[in-house]
Amino acid sequence: MAGSYANSGEYIKHHLTNLTYGQHADGSWGIAHGADEIKEMGFWSINLDSMAFSIGLGIFFLWIFHKAAKKASTDAPTGLLNFVEMLVEFIDDSVRGSFSGKNPLVAPLALTIFIWIFLMNLMDLIPVDHIPWLASLVGIPYLKIVPSTDPNITFGMSLSVFALVIYYSIKMKGPGGFFAELAFHPFPKFMMPINLVLEGVTLIAKPVSLALRLFGNLYAGEMIFILIALMYSGGWVLGISGGFLQLGWAIFHILIITLQAFIFMTLTIVYLDMASQTDH
């Protein structure tokens, strides 16, 4: 499958390049060809593939669940409604278990995070070449179909969660209470600067670890799929063993993608719970 590339390095690099739209160095707007051009475009460019798959999967999730929500009744649930209710009850249990306060935002937030991230991760199980190859037929040069291997996507979500953490910390504890939490722990008051540094790092680590954990896992998984795909061009012995490897890795990856979605959701709940706790 890597036949049309100069070498395997080229193949890997191509698979890790986003379809980015932005302003070229010469001032014209268009699609970037290669990592260098993406770098030249700077911040004001957008990864069309990440956004398209992310929004598409999100709408798919909302569409399915909205369909179920309209059908929801007190009668015995069937089919789709049954499946959706199972997920909703699972999320509800998780939120009840980890979140001690009462907040109507947390449960829908957790549901959205879990299902959406799961769907984005699920794209990882589609063989790496199929959709990019189809896209190349209609003239799209680059395509990364797994949005969660794009740090912009994972940070976009974790920073939103972080904003909520800050918002609820200030709302529940008051600005003074929030500052006290950062400044007067874990050492006594006279060591305030050290406390601020320590607690500041702890605070900043929340969104960063949240985003990087998801990104790192999925990026590594994607990379391994790409390496396995490379084996298909290495003769039939390598090809067949590559087939088995891909099957094994995909089965293992089902666990990873679910786990990562679950971790992101659970940590979001826990962070918001910590932010909402007033007795500190």
Q: How far apart are CA 28 and CA 41, in angstroms?
A: 11
- For the CB of residue 163, give the shortest distance to another protein in the complex, in Å: 9
Verify binding: residue 117, another protein, rule CB under 8 A: no
Rounded alpha-carbon distances, angstroms, from residue 216 to 13, 49, 251: 17, 19, 19
SS3 45: coil
Q: How far apart are CA 92 and CA 274, in angstroms?
A: 18
Candidates 83-91, 121-129, 187-195, 225-233; binding stretch for another protein (CB under 8 A): 83-91
SS3 59: helix
The question of whether 160 is a catalytic residue gets the answer: no
Candidates 56-64, 122-130, 189-197, 253-261; binding stretch for another protein (CB under 8 A): 56-64
Catalytic residue among 7, 217, 233, 241: 217
Q: How far apart are CA 178 and CA 167, in angstroms?
A: 10
The question of whether 148 is a catalytic residue gets the answer: no
Query: Residues 174-203: x/- map of binding to another protein (CB under 8 A)?
Result: ------------------------------
Verify binding: residue 70, another protein, rule CB under 8 A: yes
CA 270 to chain centre: 18
Choosing from 157, 218, 257, 272, the residue that interacts with another protein (CB under 8 A) is 157
The question of whether 217 is a catalytic residue gets the answer: yes
Verify binding: residue 261, another protein, rule CB under 8 A: no
Backbone angles phi, psi at 93, to 5 degrees: -65, -45
Catalytic residue among 121, 209, 233, 241: 209
Q: Are 147 and 254 in contact (CB under 8 A)?
A: no
Q: Are 84 and 65 in contact (CB under 8 A)?
A: yes
Verify binding: residue 116, another protein, rule CB under 8 A: yes
Q: How far apart are CA 73 and CA 63, in angstroms?
A: 18
- For the CB of residue 73, give the shortest distance to another protein in the complex, in Å: 6
Verify binding: residue 108, another protein, rule CB under 8 A: yes
Nearer Cβ to another protein, position 2 or 109?
109
Nearer Cβ to another protein, position 111 or 230?
111
User: What DSSP string runs through 72-107?
Assistant: --SSPP-HHHHHHHHHHHHHHHHHHHH--S--TTHH
Choosing from 1, 12, 31, 62, the residue that interacts with another protein (CB under 8 A) is 62
Helices 151-183 & 106-122 angle (0-180, nearest 10):
150
Verify binding: residue 275, another protein, rule CB under 8 A: no
Candidates 38-46, 188-196, 243-251, 256-264; binding stretch for another protein (CB under 8 A): 38-46
Segment (H or E) for 21? strand 20-23
Verify binding: residue 94, another protein, rule CB under 8 A: no
Candidates 86-94, 121-129, 188-196, 198-206; binding stretch for another protein (CB under 8 A): 86-94
Q: Are 150 and 156 in contact (CB under 8 A)?
A: no
Q: List residues near another protein by CB under 8 A.
A: 20, 22, 38-39, 41-47, 50-51, 54-55, 58, 61-62, 65-66, 68-70, 72-74, 84-85, 88-89, 92, 104-105, 107-109, 111-112, 116, 150-153, 155-157, 159-160
- Catalytic positions are 209, 213, 217
